[in-house]
Structures are given as C-alpha cells and as structure tokens.
Structure 1
C-alpha cells in the first residue's frame, strides 16, 4: 500500500518595492531641510558602523505585508549596520525599528496622511518623532513613554536622548546643534569649510616648502664658506 506524503506549501515570494512613486519633496525649502538633517546626522555618526541613517527610504515593519510601509524623510536606526539598501525590511535588520524619525512638512501635506504616519510610527516602535514645518517655523516632537509616543511639551532647546542634538528653536527660527554645540550646516557651508581647510593645508605646505628651501640655501652657503676657509688653510671646525 503506497503511503501519501503531505505537500508542504512553499512560501509565496513577495515583492517589496523600493519606491512608492511619491516625490522626496515638494519644494526646495523642504528638500534643503531634509538633506541638511540627513547629511549632518550621517556625518555625526560616521565613525559608528552600527548607526544607520537614511532619507526617503521605504520601511517595511512586517514580513509578508508589502502594503504596510512608510518612507520617513529621515530615519536613524541604532544597532543596524551601515550600507546601501533598496528598502528597510525590519525582519532583515534584527527586528530593529528605526528609533528616530523626522518629517519635514510642505504645503502639500494633508492632515489625514500625517496622522496615519504618526499612528504607524507609534505602533511600530519609533522612540522619537519630530515634525517641522519650515514655512510656519512650527516644530513638534514626541517621545516614547509607557503608553506610546507622548507629546514633548517643552520643545524649545530640547536635546534628543538618542541623537544628543539640540533643537534650538524660537519663534524666529530653528537651528539644530551637534552635541558639541556646532550648528548643522548645509552643502554650501560644508563646501566653504572644506575649501578653507584646503587653503590652510596648501598655505602650510607652501610655508614648509619655503622653510625647506631656506634651510637648503643656508646649508649650501655654509658649505661654500667652509670650502673658502679650507682654501685659506683654516680648519672650519676649529672655529666652533
């Protein structure tokens, strides 16, 4: 009598798209803020291989569900290796959810999608959530407590527990400060600083070259003087 074998169903391959088809930003101001926050945080943690910083990257929190996703403007995941990714599939990252998320608003943002984002971030483990509207200079923040994300009541001069950066916010402007007090800067300022550093290095190189040439001339002059003294029958060392 032949025995029948139970067929074990193979898991269906699920495609997790790397793009949701939405633009990264709606205007130059929003884009500038996103890139400034992203690059400065990436720079801040550049020496730590276990801090992953990304911008506009799709985050899938649940394996098997490719509809459940968000693309934070900027997110930071501690305990996750640096490296390129098409998307952030949490089950492939040791189950670690991004701990810090930033959203930069534009005039095109609507209340319902933003509320949905907050529910998503609250449900799937974000510890710190910051929303900034550069047109209105309106800053809001949430910090995870016992019952989920709680509003940060005093956001002025707030220091992020995870990032160590300060939100130097007033009614006039928002300035983000690194842990050492230096402000976040944009690409132009970074380029200017790099150019100044390059000029200082070049000036130091030129100074060192002039010093080397001066020392070489002094050595040659001393050798010529010693030769003349020897020609006169005088031992130059006896003059020391």
Structure 2
C-alpha cells in the first residue's frame, strides 16, 4: 500500500497580538522601518516585523515570531511566514525583541535558547519601561554570548549604534542620524520637499534675473549700434558739406 505523505500546514499567525501596548508597538515600528530605509537599495536584505519563523520543515509547532528580524541574503518581498527551508536554509542573522509587561522570564529564556540553537548572530532585547537594553553576539565558539557593554554598542551586521544614557535609549544609523518615528520621518520628508521647492524657486528667480540682464545688455548694445550708425551718418553729412 502506498502511504500518502501528510500535508503540513504552517499558519501565518500564532493568534497572539503583535504588541501589548502602544510603546512596544512604536518601538517595533521604529526599528523595522528605519532598517528598511537603511537597506532600501539592497534587494537581498529581508526585514520583517512579527513574522512567524519556522526553522524546520515538517514541524509547524517549532516557531518564533521575533518583533523584528533581518535576513541577509534573502530577497525582499511579501511572505506569510519565514520557512527557512524555502529561504536557502538561511537563518535570520539579527533579531530584536521589545519587552512588554506580559513577557515572562521563562518565555524570554526559551526565545534565547531558540535563537542560540538556530544560529542567530545578533540578538537584542529592549525594555522601554525601565528602560534597559541587552544584547548577545555569536562568539567564535558558536554560541550567543552576552555583550558586556551594550549601552554603547555598534551592530557588526547592521552598522547601527545603540546608546543608553541617563534613561534615554537612542539608535543611530550608520550615517550618524538617529532613528526617527514615522511621524518624524514624514515631517523630515516634507521639510526636504519644501527646501527643494525653495531652491527650485530661487533657481528660477536667478534664471529670470539673468534673462532680464541679458535683455538689458542686448538693448544697450542695440542703442550703441544705433548711435554709431547715427554718428557715421552725421560724419558723412559733414564731409559732404
């Protein structure tokens, strides 16, 4: 008897909310969207927020949904979930978790074990309520080790810098600009648009002024030619007399 292979369904949702509060949601969006901007021109950097990651084919119970994950070497595009065997076996190299009051130590310990086992290179946890920031980096021996001074740390993979000073947590892009909220990004884009429009208007005004000066110069040259012609006529008349 031929035994049919059972079809395994990999749900796109685990039934859990993306975030427990507005602060957690805001940080997830800020990190995810700013990373999208940084790697916008690289088609082979996939970034996702709250996307289920299945590391092993055939096991739909084994999964995690990092608040933000980054997979280098994978094409951008929409996905219902990240099935690693369909992604050339590539593990997301960087993951972020933003804590909320609902997170437990047991839950976070399981996540650390999962990310360690499946090859994540950089793992970052931020607690916006305290605030507190911690990170792990894969060491040469192949394990995730605690980053001793994460409060002033630059991600080897992402090139972004984390800074925690006097209760203020800030993330800086490789160009030194800090991560902005979507509202701040929109305002910055509008400011740049207005600046570009002002520069365009200035250029048009300068061009119009140059055209006016050119016309004045042409008019002055025409008058000079007319005067010269008139003088020649007068000279010829005097000589004729």
Q: Same fold (TM over 0.5)?
A: yes
Residue in structure 1 matching 2:187, options 192, 195, 205: 192
Contact 1:167 1:175 in 2 (8 A): yes
What does 1:27-176 align with in structure 2 at a 5 Å threshold?
27-145=21-139, 146=141, 148-176=143-171
Provide the secondary structure at the position in 2 that maps to 1:234: helix
1:24 aligns with 2:36: no
Is there any run of 5+ residues in structure 1 with no aligned partner, and where? 1-5, 236-240
Report the structure, 1 or 2, having the larger helix content. Answer: 2
TM-score by length of structure 2 reads 0.88
Is 2:164 aligned against 1:183?
A: no
Give the paired residue count.
229
Change (3 A) 1:10 1:233: farther
* Greater mean alpha carbon deviation, residues 142-151 or residues 15-24: 142-151
Change (3 A) 1:153 1:232: closer
Q: Deviations over 1:126-162 (max 9, x none)?
A: 1111111000111111112225222222222112121
TM-score after normalising by structure 1: 0.88
Distance in 1 (CA, whole Å) between partners of 2:226 and 2:132 is 86
Distance 2:165 2:196 in 1: 38
Unpaired runs of 5+ residues, structure 2, are 231-241
Whether the 8 Å contact between 1:164 and 1:179 is mirrored in structure 2 is: yes
Q: For residues 199 and 165 of structure 2, what CA distance do their matches in structure 1 show?
A: 41
Distance 1:168 1:100 in 2: 18
Larger Rg: 2
